[in-house]
Each structure stands twice: as structure tokens, then as C-alpha cells.
Amino acid sequence: MSEFKDDLTYYAYAAGWAVVRRLPEKTAYGLFRMLADRSWRKRGKSVRRLESNLARVLGPGATEEQIRAVSKQGMRNYMRYYCDTFRLETWSLERVSATIEVEGEQMLRDMLASGRGAIVALPHMGNWDHAGAWAATLTDGGFTTVAERLKPEKLFERFLRYRESIGMEVLPLTGGSGTFGGLIRRVKSGGLVCLVAERDLTDSGVPVEFFGETTKLPAGPAALAVATKAALYPVTLWYDEKSLHAKIWPELEVPAEGTKPQKIAHLCQRLADTFAEGIAAHPADWHMLQRLWLVDLDPEHAQHKPSAPEPGSAPEPGTDAAPGRAASAGVVEADGAR
């Protein structure tokens, strides 16, 4: 049954790439908007989870009607992401650049031109593949990211070809070797690494406070910054009717004092704070349809406030397995597709 389900998943995505990219643009996006509204009206498990997450973002004063309104737009933006994904390979570089507006672009360009290297960390917002296709034009070698190895293997290989076609070098989270070392080499050579980094699926994430509750962030971007001294930039994304928008936030500097685990914990909390500010400004563009906070994942062991880690408690960045999914999570993760 598992093999049959895997095959069904693969053929569904294969059909998406084969069919959706050939549909007239208005028809394609209209179809995905209809699918989004249908899913929202059914209010299945994923939509209910999205609304539960949005309730924390919008705060205790938000009414059910307000949460439902944001979740409706959220589902439309989520399905717009998928429609974009199936069509992005057919876009010219001119269209990629013309349909994204970037705040802070010169700051990132200047850092890369200096040869220092840069790490971009972003949450599941907007369309990170579109942003990645744009970012790949900033350097001759594109950029490096890390992606979860999907099942079935042929689906992972198809996503790998897709991402490589838009300028990404993709390192696998599992089944490969030297992943973290590969990221270190990329940034030390003055290159760019991009990682989706607000959801940790392992036990090695770093506790942070996020919208008033504790969750865990993947340690990867912070650990990479500490190990290489490369610049670490949070980025948040959102849609308007015509374009994708990206905000490159100011560099998060590695603290001068403290142990390595303490520096990583500090940077993770700074990332969480910046992500929260960006998500609060554009809540309908945060595609989080899974459990995130510890109180939802494991109520009995949830921490209500993260504490500074003791030396040695944060994952070490010197092994292939470290530091969890965030040296890990690439521009795509979760849902078997992203």
C-alpha cells in the first residue's frame, strides 16, 4: 500500500508539471484558486491547523471571522505557490526578475561582492522557489541549499531536476555525505546559501520563543554563521496581486562573547523574532499547515519559555548530521513537496 501511495503521489506531481505548465495562465491560476476555496470550505485537518497557527499570530483579540478570512487568503496564496511551482521552469529570467520586488537587494549584493559569503534564512512564506530563482542570478554559481529526500525517490529526483533548472545546487538532507561541510565550503568561498528555517522536524532544534510560545528552530543557519563568520540575513516573502515581494532584513551579527552553543541560541532567537515580525505583517503568506509549537507537538513536555542552553547542549556543526534540519531544510521542505 505504501508503494502504491508513493507512486500515486509521484504521478500526481508529474501530471502537474506536464499539464499545468501548458494551460493558459488565467485558466491555471483560476483552477488553483478554485481548489484553494474548495479546500477552505471543507475545513479539513490542514486548514484547521493553519487556523490554529494563525490564531497565535493574530493574537487573542482576533475573532473567528477574522481568522477564517486570513486562512481563506492563506489557502489561495498556498495554492498560488503550487501553481507557480509547476510553471516556474517555463519562466524566462526576465519574467523571474520582473515579478519580484526586493527590499534590501543592494545590501546582499554588496556583501557577495565583498567575497565574505552570505547565508539567507527564511520561513515558509510566499514563494521561496521564485525567490530562489531570483537569488540564483546574483552570482555566477547560483546558490546552495539543502532539501529533504522525498519518497518515492523518483519524486525527489524530479524536484532535484526542477530546482537545479532554476539555478539551485541542492544537497540532500539524508542519503548523502558531507552536507554541512559542503555548505561551509560554499560560504567560505564567498558564495550564497539559502535555507528555510522556521520548522524543525528533529530533536536537535534550538528552543526559541515565537508568538508567545516555545518552538524549535533548526540550528543550521546560525551554526553556519558561527562556523564561517559569513553574514546571516533573515528574509521574509509575501504576495500582492501581481508580484512576489522579498524583504532582506539587516544582518544578524554573531555575538562576540559566549560559547558556541550560546551564540547559536542567540542567533536562533533573533531569527525567530525577525520571522515573527515579517509573518505578523503578512499572516496570509505564511504557509504553516503543520504543528509547530511544542505545546501542540508534545503538551506534556512543552516548555513555556526557552532558557539559555548550557555549554554543549546545542548541536555541533562539525558532523554531517548536525545541525538538524536547518542546515538541512532547503528552499523546499514539508508536505512531501516543498
DSSP string, 91-137: --HHHHHHTEEEETHHHHHHHHHHTS-EEEEE-SBS-HHHHHHHHTT
With b for 16 or more beta-carbon neighbours within 10 A and e for fewer, the 42-52 pattern comes to eeeeebebbbb
Could you count the other beta carbons within 10 Å of the beta carbon of residue 147?
22
> Could you report the per-residue pLDDT of 8-51, keeping only the tens digit for each?
888 888 888 889 999 999 999 999 999 999 999 999 999 999 99
Please indicate whether residue 124 is annotated as part of the active site.
yes
> Could you report the per-residue pLDDT of 308-321, keeping only the tens digit for each?
333 223 333 333 33
Collect the ranges in the chain with pLDDT lower than 70. 1, 174-177, 201, 300-338
- pTM for the model stands at 0.86
Alpha carbon 28 to its chain centroid, in Å, reads 24
In this prediction, residue 35 carries a pLDDT of 97
Catalytic residue among 51, 124, 148, 245: 124
Catalytic residue among 148, 169, 198, 333: 198
